[in-house]
Structure 1
Amino acid sequence: MFSLLKRIWIKKKTICHVGAWGGNFGDSILQNSIRRQLCELDDRIEFVYYNCQKTEFTLELIHQINKSCDVMIVGGGGLIFNRPQDNSKSGWQWNIDINYIDHIKIPIVVYGIGYNKFEYDKNDFQSVTREHLLKTIDKSALFSVRNTGTKEYLVKLGGDASKIDVIPDPGMFAQPSFIKIPGIATNKVKIGINWTTDRENQTFPEPWNVTKERFLCELVKAINKISGKYDIQVFYIGHMGYEFDKAIIEYFKSYLDIKPIIIDECLCEIYPPGDGEKVGYLVDIYRQMDLVLGMRGHSNIVSFGQNTPCIAIGSHRKLRYFKKDIHDEENIIDIREMNNINDKYIYGKIEYNLAHLSAQKMRLIGEFARQRHIEDEFNKKVISLLH
């Protein structure tokens, strides 16, 4: 009875949440984590969602949002990114005409977005993108980015540095839901591998397919060598499911000396991750690892949040930006420098982490506490806009 009266007496506050809700694990944990954190601070909040890649913000839709919502959140994730197939009117992931931004009458919060252009992406932003981003910064009640590198990029475009907060990616605060991994052995060293199957031609230096094969060969040799020193298990942790990552999964099955446990196969029921309990299962898988080799941004971010050391692999700027902000730049295998990378180099990175696991975890705990404080203070500012 009391709960019914509470719903009647206490007016709900509605947040219009705009993001790239595309089925990727990283996008799903952002949606889940932001909602959970804000609802913990104010239980009056309810959310309505708009997919920024599939929604055009027309004047009619903006009018509807003004009438029904109290705050608009845009983000998080790598929204400063041009996908030509989206036909975005802004050139980045928020598909709104620049002349319509002023029609939004409720406070706008840009929440931890990132500059997400792939290293070898030849697509340029549209001519309107710079002006659109600057307009969004000026119009927003709160504008935040997920790393210092993105802030520096926006300031170079002409953005007012005093209006741009740097906050952690909320994915690092995702909560695990316990799940038993079939075949996992508590007495073995558990190494997780995550790979980015999409846009490999924008990830590796040209000739990209040759560079990719060379890197994979060196990576596999390093892991096989590690298995001679440590009693390890290897897990492949996909973010999109087996069919999406089939080629790389079959590669690891063929060339690793130790048969890998493929999460996409043995726990196929948790894909696609969506926005519910499945998100927590993947978070928990990262929690159970001793070390992760991660190519996707949220493979690194979630590992950090679960106090699991992670070596970033790849060329993407978001990996470098993240590692710099958490003071972990030594744990990157940067394939832009492929001429300097071989199995010995990769082995050294892995072996150092395994030999110093306790110290690495202690260091991560201290850095996580610092990031947690930054996030909490920003969330309080968001809640204040609802009052």
Structure 2
Amino acid sequence: MKKKLRVLHIASFIGNVGDNANHKGSEFLRNQFLDYKFEITRKEIREFYWKEWIFNSEKFVNEANSYDLVMIGGGNYFELWVENSRTGTSIDLDLEYLQKINTPILFYSLGCDLGQGVPQANVDKFRIFMDYLTNREKYFVSVRNDGALGNIEKIYADRYKNKVAEIPDGGFFTNVSNLNHYEIEGKMMNVLINVAGDMPEVRFPGTDGKITYVSFIEEFANVLEELSGEYNHNLNFIFVPHIFRDIKTSYDIINNINDKVRRKNVKVAPYLIGDSGHDYIFSLYNQSDLILGMRFHSNVCSYALKKNVIGLVNYVQISNLYNDINSNEYIEVNKEGFTEKLKDKIRKHLSEKERFEDLSNKVKEKLFEEAKIEYMKLNNWLKTNLEVKEYENKN
């Protein structure tokens, strides 16, 4: 019988539905590999951004100390662009207050994304933070498989070698039950499309062989038009937003598609958040014949569901993800001349659907074995820290 742990879980629960996939898949992994049952109290990380909660406060210290374990993540909380943070990251927890927290802290499967910039001041602050964490048994530091470990090594060389675990993102292990969807057309090939609406200037800079946002919109719309005609209007394009900003990008593409295709071959899924949003959105994924995914979890969850997927890469995090899983089933859609490559890849994926679904399954199986190894380390860490805490409480 698993031992129960009261866990304060700090993460995103009402943002990107991919975060909810991460949490659901991580719960599956815990049930598979840990000797402990996490009884979770959720704390939305945006409450810290909104200043409803403050990391550097006695209130937070007291809250953290009332639990058996604090878990932060998964999520992209080791990105180093954050201004006015004492750690250079979204986890703005000064050592003065961190030292007051007696409860063990699990930094779980975090992203370290350098795509939005890395000020030197934040490099220095994060080094101090990481030095403290990685030299104390009370903390378990882990990153996800999106190039985070390589990014840390790029900045700090081998300073944290063998001190930071790499745990596959929980989204690779999410699951859903199929719901009935008006968006799905039973007699057509359903092509689900996720296009990201944030950071357009980063994704489409318009320099050094990279196209502008406007060029992408026009060219991607042309790809859908041409393929629709080529397949005798038997393709059903379903645009699926993960965050509210994705709605605008979907609109811009649809607005550039000719009226016949737009009315006969295009649908848009609702913008939903939270666990119920996850269940709805990824049920759509599960019933689609092909996924064209731009966001991190659009790709990750397609592999979780063993689907036929092509990555639409315009951000380094996604190319890092595909490098990590050793797959070249993606197209860099911010490069000049991407359209012919994308059309060719779509044709191939539609004609060899079962083969690509089998490849996705093999990726998932490999990541499951990698997760098992890291979870054994996590289980041992929990045992060590909880035994110490129990001893201290008795004495």
What's the TM-score bracket when you normalise by the shorter of the two chains?
A: 0.7 to 0.9
Structure 1 unaligned spans of 5+:
1-5
* Range 19-28 or range 39-48, more displaced: 39-48
- Cα 1:63–1:214 change in 2 (3 A) is closer
Instruction: Report the number of matched residues.
Output: 364
> Equivalent residue for 2:278?
279
Q: Is the 8 A contact 2:113 2:151 kept in 1?
A: no
Q: Equivalents in 2 of 1:216, 1:361: separation in Å?
A: 28
Indicate if the aligned counterparts of 2:313 and 2:330 stay in contact, CA closer than 8 A.
Answer: no
Other-structure match for 2:15: 23
Deviates more, 1:292-301 or 1:141-150: 141-150
Moved more, 319-328 or 245-254: 245-254
1:153 corresponding residue in structure 2? 151
Q: CA deviation at 1:66?
A: 5.1
Cα drift, residue 12 of structure 1: 3.8
- Residue of structure 2 aligned with 1:368, choices 348, 364, 370: 364
Is 1:199 the counterpart of 2:199? The answer is yes
Letter matched to residue 267 of structure 2: I
Matched, 1:350 2:342: no
Q: 1:1-387 alignment to 2 at 5 Å?
A: 12-39=4-31, 41=34, 44-53=37-46, 54=48, 55-58=53-56, 60-61=58-59, 63-65=61-63, 67-82=65-80, 84=82, 87-118=84-115, 121-122=116-117, 124=119, 126=122, 127-139=124-136, 141-147=139-145, 149-156=147-154, 157-158=156-157, 159-206=159-206, 211-230=212-231, 231-241=234-244, 244-257=245-258, 258-259=261-262, 260-264=266-270, 271=272, 273-274=273-274, 276-335=275-334, 338-339=335-336, 341-384=337-380, 385=382
**Aligned to 2:70, what secondary structure does the other structure show?**
strand
Paired with 1:361 and 1:210, the residues of 2 have a C-alpha distance of 31
Percent sequence identity over matched residues? 22
- Provide closer, same or farther for how the CA distance between residues 345 and 71 of structure 1 changes in structure 2, counting only shifts above 3 A: same
Distance 1:146 1:44 in 2: 22
Conserved? CA contact 1:320–1:329, under 8 Å? no
Aligned-residue Cα RMSD (Å) equals: 2.8
In the alignment, structure 2 segments of 5+ residues that lack a partner are 387-395
Residue deviations 1:30-66 (CA, integer Å, cap 9, x gap): 2333345435656742112333441432352454245
How big is the shift at 1:283?
Answer: 1.6
Task: Report the secondary structure of 1:191's partner residue.
Answer: strand
Distance 2:135 2:230 in 1: 55
Contact 1:32–1:174 (8 Å) recurs in 2 = yes
**Kept in 2: contact 1:320–1:332 (CA 8 A):** no
Deviation at 1:113, TM superposition (A): 1.0
Contact persistence 2:17–2:242 (CA under 8 A): yes
Checking the alignment, whether the CA contact within 8 Å between 1:52 and 1:95 is kept in structure 2 is: no
- 1:364 and 1:356 map into 2 onto residues whose CA distance is 13
Distance 1:331 1:305, change over 3 A: same
Letter in 1 for 2:367: Q
In structure 2, the partner of 1:3 is none
Q: Secondary structure at the match of 1:27?
A: helix
1:68 match: secondary structure: coil
Contact 1:18 1:74 survives alignment (8 Å): yes
Distance (Å, rounded) in 1 between the aligned partners of 2:333 and 2:161: 29
Secondary structure, aligned partner of 2:62:
helix
Q: Is the 8 A contact 1:177 1:277 kept in 2?
A: no
From the superposition, tell whether residues 71 and 143 of structure 1 become closer, same or farther in structure 2 (CA, over 3 Å). same
How many angstroms does 1:313 deviate by?
1.9
The answer on whether the counterparts of 2:111 and 2:146 sit within 8 Å (CA) in structure 1 is no
Structure 2 residue matching 1:79: 3-state secondary structure: coil
User: What is the alpha-carbon distance in structure 2 between the residues aligned to residue 20 and residue 82 of structure 1?
Assistant: 18
The answer to whether the Cα contact below 8 Å between 2:183 and 2:238 also exists between their aligned partners in 1 is no
What CA deviation, in whole Å up to 9, does each residue of 1:245-294 have, x standing for no partner?
44323223323353311002xxx6xx2x21x3332221211111221111
2:108 match: secondary structure: strand
Q: Verify the 8 A CA contact 1:311 1:333 in the aligned structure 2.
A: no
CA, structure 1 residues 29+217, in 2 after alignment: closer, same or farther (shift >3 Å)? Answer: same
Instruction: Give TM-score scaled by structure 2 length.
Output: 0.82
User: What is the identity, as a one-letter code, of the residue corresponding to 1:170?
Assistant: G
User: What is the identity, as a one-letter code, of the residue corresponding to 2:237?
Assistant: V
Corresponding position of 2:393:
none
Q: In 2, are the aligned partners of 1:115 and 1:318 still within 8 Å (CA)? A: no
Q: Secondary structure at the match of 2:310?
A: strand
Once the two structures are overlaid, the 10-residue window that deviates more, 43-52 or 310-319, is 43-52
SS of the equivalent of 1:103 reads coil
SS of equivalent residue, structure 1 residue 282:
helix
- Aligned partners of 2:302, 2:180: CA distance in 1, in Å? 18
Which moved further from structure 2: 206-215 or 69-78? 206-215
**Alpha-carbon deviation of 1:13?**
1.3
For 2:177 and 2:58, the matched residues in 1 are separated by 40
The alignment partner of 2:322 has SS state of helix
Q: Taking structure 1 as reference, are residues 131 and 21 closer, same or farther at Cα in structure 2, changes over 3 Å only? A: farther
Distance in 2 between residues matched to 1:262 and 1:240, nearest whole Å:
13
